[in-house]
Every structure is written in structure tokens, then in C-alpha cells.
């Protein structure tokens, strides 16, 4: 028992200092996470304060904080939610991780780091911290669709981190990274998850229900935590992270229907060990080492905060989430955490990186952890500001894109469209794999192939390399053409579900929004495919040819997108005119009957504008006397005002400076969720029996 005094001393120092700092931060109305990190800096070994806790002991206890935080997160994020948000969150994580790996690699090379160090830097800055985000969301009481999306992205990132570890280990040790080896890694991960979920669904919910019926709350707590630690241990034994195992344990326990009771029992224990975890992060900060590498630290902090926010926002928007939710999700994930430490330590242990990279990773994590609560808290205002600054054409597309995706999901042809989309996605995967294989193969074989060409044909070494890359470019052309054609095909397939073409001989009233949807999906799909290719091939290419190709594709497709947005703007203005006329017929307040839908005929005439809903502003509405810009309506809700009718006057596609008045009739367009948020923000009542009104009530 000689270790007991050391353990008691470490806990006493950590918890007492943490209590003082968190009380201080609460008085200052700042997140308590920042107080925990400051406490860690004070009791850590790197500052001259005579209060030092044993770092190894605290690091061991902090693992319990990670496990319990992830278990609690899994309790509220059951398997049904995971299945619902998994595909979109996975795509968003893939876009974000690809962009950040590429940017991190470029930043590392700019600082003169080796190729391997730059590759590790890219992987380090691409993985956000599930633990930090979970704690910040709890403090700020973030719930609903945003929390579900962010947790889905974080879980997808954790799975990507496992793949990064396998890939980087193979690269750093000089072992060949064949498609077969990568496929084996993926297969093992998939088999582990499937086996764990299948067996867990058969055993865990039944066991928890049995304990709940026959035991006391104390027994339920002990049984739940026993399952939590057991499944976390299975994950570690299989070579994966405790965070992944604990999250799955929470999701399985949630299927028992006892999640609410267990969450209340676990919360005090979770909060205690979560505090120790964040103190342990603060203990890792070495101010002297940070000062020595301040340039790289600040550059990577800026890269994580700006790059992660933008990459997640772009990915979330392309997968059907509005600007508001996308921006808030991006700013919630602007940090790195525990998996980044693991990747940095892996590079050091394999001799692939120098010691400074681990210190820089810890410093970047600490700085971004400090800013995370503020970024989450300010994301609503930033989303509204971004929406105000978007060009009018882009505002229109952004406002309607979510409703188009919603129409695809609700389409009666969803099964047929889904089958076609899956075939196109497989073709895109083949095209992207072909391009990547040709580029990497040409790079790896460049030296011996150039010598062979020089010896056989008699060309100079420089000309031999040019000939080799010319052949590689010709071989890649069919795959690149197929990539662009399949990206357009994906847009056409989705448009067929959301905005089907009119019957032969009838005017195609959905042509403008359909072209805008196709152009948006083609641009998004091209970015989704090219960014991972650029990230994967960048270490094998001199200079930045991959980035140049990506930029050229974005410019060309962006021009087509901009033109289609202009056509859509005209379509919206024409629709607004019809809406204004329909609203004028309603006349004074209360003219519409409870089941009457004034915009019923409009929806057939102007498809592609979703299901607009008419709302009326009462005299006591908080929006009366304020402009749309001051309200930040579109940025805060995702809905757009297409038209306003007030007495004998009317406003079509109002500008941001338009002020609202009591009695105004507003036609709102957007997803059902966006319209519901707009109604709450406006304090307005729905007029008539629009289909969207019921859905959003």
C-alpha cells in the first residue's frame, strides 16, 4: 500500500487547485474546462509553482474520464440515431479529414519538416477531440440535430484515426502499404464492430433491464459501469481505442430503455474523472518548448481553428445541412485532442518524427481547447454574419439546397434513386482509386523507370521523366473524364428524385432549380472526390500540381454553378410574384380558413422552392420594427423570406434591410426544421393549412 500516499497527494493537489480555478472561472462566467486546464498548468512539472502532482498517476486516472465521458455520450446517442446520421456524418468527416491532412502536410513542408513529419502533422491536425466537445456541449447545453451531427462526425473521425495509425505505422517502418493490407485493416475493424454490436444487442439491453427490475440504483450503476469498462477493455485488446469501446457500450446500454436513469447515476462520477482528464491536458503544456516552436504552434493553431471550421462546414452543407447548422458544427470541431497525442507519440516511438512534434501537438491541443467553448458560444452570430455576406445568388441556392435534399429523402422514387446513386458512387470510387494509383505508381517508379527509358530510348534523364509523367497523365485521362461524368450523373440522379422532369409535351417548370441542384452536386461531388486524392498523392508529387488540378476543377465547375444560380434567382423572383398575388387575395388578417392553403396552386407552378409556409406577424412579435439583417433570420434559422405582403403593398425577394411590421404576411421557404426555427424566432403564427406548417409546428 506504499503507493496510496502518492495517489492521495496527487488527487488532493489536483482537485483542490481545480476547485479554486473553476470557482474563479464560474465567477468570471467562463467555461469551467478552461479552469481545469489552468489548474493542470499550475500543478504540472513545467511551471515554477511548489504544487506538483504525479503526472503518471493523473494520466492513468484521466483515462477513466475519457471512458466515462464517452459512455455518457453513447447513452444519449443510441444506435438508431447513429444509423440515421452515420452516412452524412461519415461523408462530412471524410471531406474534413482529407482537407486537413493536405493542409497539415503543406504547412509541415513550409516549415522545412521532413516528408514523414509533414504527413504525421497532417494526420494530427485532422482529428478533433470527442472528449473536449462532449464536455463543452454539456456545459453549454447543446442538444438536438447539431449535437447528433457533431457526435456522428467525431465517431467517424475516430474510425479514420484508427486507419491513420495502421497506414502511418506501415509507412514509417518502411513496410509496403498494399491495397490488400489496407483492405485487411478495414475488414478487421468492420468485423470487430459488427461482432460487438450483434453480440451486444443480444446481451446488454436484456441484462440492464433485468438488473433494473430486480436491483437497486446502486446495483444498476455498478452493472452499467462494469459493462462500460468491460467493452472498453475489449476494444483496447483488439487494438482500438477505449473511447470507441466506451461509446459503443453507452449506445448498447441506451437500447435497454434505462438510459435516463443510468445517466443520472453516472453523472457525478463522470464529472469527477472528466475534471482530472482536463487537468492532465493542462499538465502536458510546456511553456518553454512552446516558446521555442512558437511559429509552428501558432500556425497550426490557426490552421486547426480556421481549416477545421471551414472543412466541416463545407462537408456538412454538401450533405444536406443548412448554413446555420454547418457553421455551428464546424466551429464546434475547431480543436484537436487525445487521438492527436496518440498519433504524435506513434511518430516519435517509430523514429519517424523528432520530439518537438509531440510538444507542438500538445500545445495546439491546449490552445484550441481554450477557444472551443467560446467558438461554440459564438457560432450562432458567425453563421448569421456569413449568411449576410454571401452574394444574393449564393444565398438563394443555400436557402433552397436543404429543401431539395429533404425532397430527395421523401421522394416516392427513393429506392430507385438510391440504387442509381450507389452505382454512381461505386464508379466514382473506382475512378478516384485509378487516378491515385497512377500518380503514386508513377512517383514510386519514377527513378528506375526513367533510367530504363533513358537506357532503352537514349533520352536524357530529364526528358525520360517528362516522358514517364506524360504517359501517366494519358493513362489518368479516362479516369478523370469518368470522374467528372459520374459527378454530373450523381447530380442528375438526385435531381430526378427531388425535381422530376415534366411529362412530354408539358412545360418543364422545374428546369431552373434542377440545373442549380445538378451544378451544386457536381461541384460538391468533385470536391469530395478530388480532395482525398490530393491529400493522398501530395507526398508523392513535387510542388503542388494536385492543388492546381483541384483549383482548376473548382473554377470551371464554379462558373457553371454561378450561371445556374443566376437562372434560379429569376425562377425565385417569378415565384415570389405569384406568392404576392396569392397573399393579396387573402386580404386582411384571418381571411384564410383553418384548412385553406393559399399557396397550394403555387407549389405546382413553381417546384423547387420547397413547400413555402405563410406566417403572420402579430403586434407583439419580437421581429416587428426590426430588419431581416438585424434578426439574422436566414443565418439563425436556415429559412428564407421569399415574399412579404402588407395591406396594399408587397415586397418580392426582400433585401436584408427590409423592416418588418405588425400584420405582415411572410412566405418562408426552407426545410421543415428551418421553417420551424424561423417561426419561433419571429414569434409568428402559421396561416392556412400548408403541408409544411404541420410538419414544422
- Of 123-132, 405-414, 458-467, 580-589, where does mean pLDDT reach its minimum? 580-589
Please say if the pLDDT value at position 463 is more than 70: yes
* Residue 606's pLDDT band (cuts 50, 70, 90): low
Mean of all residue pLDDT scores within the chain: 77
How high is the pLDDT of residue 688?
58
Please say if the pLDDT value at position 180 is more than 60: no
Sequence-distant (6+) residues with CB within 8 A of 248 are 74, 193, 196, 197, 200, 231, 235
* Residue 301's pLDDT band (cuts 50, 70, 90): very high
Locate 224 and state its grid cell: 452499467
Euclidean distance between CA atoms 585 and 574, whole angstroms = 17
Q: Quick one: average pLDDT of 270-290?
A: 80
Q: Quick one: average pLDDT of 15-44?
A: 81
Full DSSP string of 309-369: HHHHHHHHHHTT--HHHHHHHHHHT----HHHHHHHHHHHHTTSS-THHHHHHHHHHHHHH
How high is the pLDDT of residue 594?
44
Decide which of 565 and 594 is more confident. Answer: 565
Asked if residue 510 lies in contact with residue 427, where contact means CB atoms within 8 angstroms, the answer is no
Query: Would you call 644 helix, strand, or coil by DSSP?
Result: strand
HEC secondary structure over 19-64: HHHHHHHHHCCCCHHHHHHHHHHHHCCCCCCCCCCCHHHHHHHHHH
Distances, alpha carbon 45 to alpha carbons 20, 49, 51, 53, in Å: 19, 9, 9, 8
Decide which of 408 and 232 is more confident. Answer: 232
Euclidean distance between CA atoms 117 and 354, whole angstroms = 8
* Residue 659's pLDDT band (cuts 50, 70, 90): confident
Other beta carbons less than 10 A from residue 436's beta carbon: 19
Domains 4-389 and 576-696 share a fold: no
Sequence-distant (6+) residues with CB within 8 A of 56 are none
Q: Provide the angle, in degrees to the nearest 10, between the axes of the packed helices 338-349 and 115-124.
A: 160
Euclidean distance between CA atoms 643 and 586, whole angstroms = 14
How high is the pLDDT of residue 404?
75
Sequence-distant (6+) residues with CB within 8 A of 468 are 442, 445, 446, 449, 450, 453
**For strand 685-686 and strand 665-669, is the pairing parallel, antiparallel, or unpaired?**
unpaired
Q: Domain spanning 4-389 has what CATH number?
A: 1.20.1530.20
Cα-to-chain-centroid distance, residue 589 = 43
Please say whether the dihedral angle defined by the alpha carbons of residues 90, 484, 497 and 315, taken in this order, is positive or negative.
Answer: positive
Asked if residue 307 lies in contact with residue 299, where contact means CB atoms within 8 angstroms, the answer is no
Dmax of the chain from CA atoms? 90
Q: Quick one: average pLDDT of 171-176?
A: 61
Euclidean distance between CA atoms 425 and 697, whole angstroms = 36
User: Percent of the chain beyond pLDDT 70?
Assistant: 81
- DSSP letter for 690, please: -
* Residue 183's pLDDT band (cuts 50, 70, 90): low
Distances, alpha carbon 351 to alpha carbons 47, 286, 348, 357, 538, in Å: 29, 22, 5, 12, 22
Please say if the pLDDT value at position 582 is more than 70: no
Sequence-distant (6+) residues with CB within 8 A of 340 are 124, 125, 127, 129, 361, 364, 365
Q: Quick one: average pLDDT of 365-388?
A: 82
The H-or-E segment that residue 666 falls in is strand 665-669
* Residue 429's pLDDT band (cuts 50, 70, 90): confident
Asked if residue 403 lies in contact with residue 411, where contact means CB atoms within 8 angstroms, the answer is no
Domain ranges of the chain: 4-389, 404-574, 576-696
Q: Quick one: average pLDDT of 287-298?
A: 83
Q: Quick one: average pLDDT of 559-573?
A: 74
How high is the pLDDT of residue 683?
77
How high is the pLDDT of residue 595?
44
Q: Quick one: average pLDDT of 164-168?
A: 75
Q: Quick one: average pLDDT of 461-490?
A: 79
In this structure, which topology does domain 576-696 adopt according to CATH? Alpha-Beta Plaits (3.30.70)
HEC secondary structure over 102-149: HHHHHHHHHCCCCHHHHHHHHHHCCCCCHHHHHHHHHHHCCCHHHHHH
Other beta carbons less than 10 A from residue 587's beta carbon: 12
- DSSP letter for 542, please: S
Asked if residue 79 lies in contact with residue 143, where contact means CB atoms within 8 angstroms, the answer is no
Half-sphere exposure of 491 (CA within 13 A, CB side): 23
Cα-to-chain-centroid distance, residue 13 = 38
Query: Which neighbouring-strand residues pair with 644?
Result: 651, 666
Locate 237 and state its grid cell: 485488446
Please say whether the dihedral angle defined by the alpha carbons of residues 658, 663, 664 and 668, taken in this order, is positive or negative.
Answer: positive
How high is the pLDDT of residue 302?
92
Please say if the pLDDT value at position 591 is more than 80: no
Give 347-370 pLDDT, tens digit per residue. Answer: 877 778 887 888 788 788 878 887
* Residue 691's pLDDT band (cuts 50, 70, 90): very low
Asked if residue 403 lies in contact with residue 669, where contact means CB atoms within 8 angstroms, the answer is yes
- Of 18-22, 67-71, 260-264, 402-406, where does mean pLDDT reach its minimum? 402-406
* Residue 173's pLDDT band (cuts 50, 70, 90): low
Give 665-679 pLDDT, tens digit per residue. Answer: 888 877 777 788 788
Decide which of 532 and 110 is more confident. Answer: 110
Burial class (CB in 10 A: 0-12, 13-18, 19+), 572: buried
Q: Quick one: average pLDDT of 119-138?
A: 84
Euclidean distance between CA atoms 368 and 366, whole angstroms = 6
- Of 9-13, 146-150, 531-535, where does mean pLDDT reach its minimum? 531-535
How high is the pLDDT of residue 696?
37
CA angle 193, 490, 422 (to 5 degrees): 35
- Of 40-44, 323-327, 602-606, where does mean pLDDT reach its minimum? 602-606
Distances, alpha carbon 389 to alpha carbons 383, 392, 659, in Å: 10, 9, 18
How high is the pLDDT of residue 694?
36
How high is the pLDDT of residue 628?
78
Other beta carbons less than 10 A from residue 47's beta carbon: 15
How high is the pLDDT of residue 402?
72
The H-or-E segment that residue 615 falls in is strand 613-616
Please say if the pLDDT value at position 34 is more than 80: no
Half-sphere exposure of 585 (CA within 13 A, CB side): 12
Amino acid at each position: 500500500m506504499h503507493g496510496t500516499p502518492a495517489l492521495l497527494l496527487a488527487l488532493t493537489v489536483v482537485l483542490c487547485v481545480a476547485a479554486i480555478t473553476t470557482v474563479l472561472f464560474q465567477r468570471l462566467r467562463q467555461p469551467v474546462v478552461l479552469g481545469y486546464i489552468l489548474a493542470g498548468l499550475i500543478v504540472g512539472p513545467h511551471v515554477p509553482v511548489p504544487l506538483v502532482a504525479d503526472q503518471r498517476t493523473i494520466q492513468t486516472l484521466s483515462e477513466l474520464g475519457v471512458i466515462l465521458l464517452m459512455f455518457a455520450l453513447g447513452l444519449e446517442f443510441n444506435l438508431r440515431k447513429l444509423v440515421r446520421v452515420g452516412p452524412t456524418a461519415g461523408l462530412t468527416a471524410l471531406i474534413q479529414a482529407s482537407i486537413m491532412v493536405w493542409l497539415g502536410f503543406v504547412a509541415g513542408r513550409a516549415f522545412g519538416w521532413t516528408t514523414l513529419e509533414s504527413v504525421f502533422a497532417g494526420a494530427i491536425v485532422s482529428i478533433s477531440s470527442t472528449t473536449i466537445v462532449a464536455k463543452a456541449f454539456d456545459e453549454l447545453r447543446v442538444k438536438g440535430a447539431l449535437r447528433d451531427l457533431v457526435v456522428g462526425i467525431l465517431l467517424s473521425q475516430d474510425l479514420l484515426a484508427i486507419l491513420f495509425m495502421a497506414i502511418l505505422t506501415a509507412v514509417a517502418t518502411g513496410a509496403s502499404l498494399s491495397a490488400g493490407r489496407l483492405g485487411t485493416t478495414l475488414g478487421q475493424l468492420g468485423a470487430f464492430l459488427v461482432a460487438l454490436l450483434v453480440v451486444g444487442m443480444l446481451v446488454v439491453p436484456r441484462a440492464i433491464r433485468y438488473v433494473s427490475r430486480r436491483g437497486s440504483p446502486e446495483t444498476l450503476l455498478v452493472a452499467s459501469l462494469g459493462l462500460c469498462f468491460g467493452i472498453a477493455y475489449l476494444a483496447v485488446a483488439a487494438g482500438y481505442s477505449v473511447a470507441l469501446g466506451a461509446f459503443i457500450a453507452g449506445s448498447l446500454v441506451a437500447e435497454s430503455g434505462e438510459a435516463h436513469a443510468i445517466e443520472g447515476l453516472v453523472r457525478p462520477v463522470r464529472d469527477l474523472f472528466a475534471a482530472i482528464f482536463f487537468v492532465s491536458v493542462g499538465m502536458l503544456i510546456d511553456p518553454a518548448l512552446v516558446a521555442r516552436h512558437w511559429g509552428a504552434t501558432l500556425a497550426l493553431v490557426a490552421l486547426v481553428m480556421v481549416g477545421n471550421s471551414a472543412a466541416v462546414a463545407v462537408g456538412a452543407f454538401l450533405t444536406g445541412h443548412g448554413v446555420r447548422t454547418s457553421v455551428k458544427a464546424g466551429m464546434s470541431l475547431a480543436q484537436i485532442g487525445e487521438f492527436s497525442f496518440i498519433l504524435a507519440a506513434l511518430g516519435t516511438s517509430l523514429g519517424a518524427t523528432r520530439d518537438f512534434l509531440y510538444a507542438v501537438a500538445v500545445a495546439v491541443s491546449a490552445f484550441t481547447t481554450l477557444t472551443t467553448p467560446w467558438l461554440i458560444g459564438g457560432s450562432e452570430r458567425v453563421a448569421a454574419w456569413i449568411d449576410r455576406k454571401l452574394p444574393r445568388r449564393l444565398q438563394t441556392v443555400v436557402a433552397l439546397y436543404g429543401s431539395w435534399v429533404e425532397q430527395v429523402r421523401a421522394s416516392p422514387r427513393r429506392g430507385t434513386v438510391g440504387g442509381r446513386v450507389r452505382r454512381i458512387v461505386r464508379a466514382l470510387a473506382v475512378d478516384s482509386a485509378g487516378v491515385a494509383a497512377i500518380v503514386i505508381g508513377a512517383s514510386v517508379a519514377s527513378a528506375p523507370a526513367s533510367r530504363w527509358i533513358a537506357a532503352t530510348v537514349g533520352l536524357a534523364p530529364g526528358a525520360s521523366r517528362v516522358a514517364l509523367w506524360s504517359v501517366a497523365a494519358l493513362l489518368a485521362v479516362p479516369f478523370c473524364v469518368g470522374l467528372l461524368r459520374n459527378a454530373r450523373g450523381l447530380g442528375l440522379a438526385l435531381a430526378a428524385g427531388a425535381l422530376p422532369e415534366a411529362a412530354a409535351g408539358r412545360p418543364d417548370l422545374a428546369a431552373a432549380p434542377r440545373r442549380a441542384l445538378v451544378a451544386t452536386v457536381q461541384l460538391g461531388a468533385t470536391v469530395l472526390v478530388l480532395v482525398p486524392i490530393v491529400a493522398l498523392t501530395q507526398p508523392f508529387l513535387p510542388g503542388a500540381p494536385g492543388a492546381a488540378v483541384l483549383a482548376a476543377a473548382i473554377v470551371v465547375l464554379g462558373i457553371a454553378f454561378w450561371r445556374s444560380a443566376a437562372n434560379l434567382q429569376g425562377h425565385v423572383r417569378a415565384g415570389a410574384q405569384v406568392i404576392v398575388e396569392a397573399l393579396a387575395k387573402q386580404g386582411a388578417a384571418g381571411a384564410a380558413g383553418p384548412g385553406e392553403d393559399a399557396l397550394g396552386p403555387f407549389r405546382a407552378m413553381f417546384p423547387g422552392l420547397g413547400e413555402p409556409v405563410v406566417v403572420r406577424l402579430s403586434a407583439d412579435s419580437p421581429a416587428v420594427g426590426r430588419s431581416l439583417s438585424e434578426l439574422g433570420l436566414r443565418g439563425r434559422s436556415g429559412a428564407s423570406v421569399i415574399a412579404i405582403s402588407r395591406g396594399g403593398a408587397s415586397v418580392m425577394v426582400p433585401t436584408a434591410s427590409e423592416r418588418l411590421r405588425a400584420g405582415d404576411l411572410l412566405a418562408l421557404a426552407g426545410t421543415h426544421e428551418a421553417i420551424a426555427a424561423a417561426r419561433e424566432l419571429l414569434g409568428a403564427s402559421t396561416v392556412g393549412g400548408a403541408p409544411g406548417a404541420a410538419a414544422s409546428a
